[in-house]
Amino acid sequence: MAKLQRVDSKAAENTMVFAEGTGEAKTVKLGEGTVRFVTFGPGWRWSKHVGPVVGAERCQTAHMPYVVAGRHHVVMDDGSEIDLGPGDAAVIPPGHDAWTIGDEPCVLVDFGGMRA
């Protein structure tokens, strides 16, 4: 049975800083899963700032984000695409590219995806 638990993004067990200082993702364990507190700066794009580091053209991780601030655009391998903004939640399957829209950082909480 699950126990009552609280996590703070400052207690991240893993922090990934994106290339060119375009943001960061802090990962914390919560129950049996993980939560990522993510900030994507203006100009951030997965295929440019993460893909080269992991050796892939498209993100192969599933995500379940809730957008707190800013805007985010996602394009799937099949060509479908969505824009996300404050208050939006989404399911994003593996096989996508994504980027920040506009001059404001996109801040989101990701309840899916990987731990490292």
What is the tens place of the pLDDT at every residue in 51-70?
A: 998 999 999 999 999 999 99
The rounded distance, in Å, linking the Cα atoms of 69 and 107 is: 5
Q: Using CA atoms, how far apart are residues 17 and 72, in angstroms rounded to an integer? A: 18
With 80 as the cut, is the pLDDT of residue 13 above it? yes
User: Per-residue pLDDT averaged across 80-108, rounded?
Assistant: 98
Percent of the chain with pLDDT over 70: 96
pLDDT at 60: 94
- Separation CA 40–CA 16 (nearest Å): 11
pLDDT of residue 67: 98
Distance CA 101, CA 81 (A): 13
Identify the residue with better confidence: 2 or 80: 80
For the structural domain made of 33-110, what CATH number should be given? 2.60.120.10
* pLDDT tens by residue, 27-58: 998 888 889 999 999 999 999 999 998 999 99
DSSP string, the chain: --------GGG-SEEEEPGGG-EEEEEEEETTEEEEEEEE-TT-BHHHHTHHHHT-SSB-S-B-EEEEESEEEEEETTS-EEEE-TT-B--B-SSEEEEEESSSPEEEEESSS---
| Domain residue ranges in the chain | 33-110
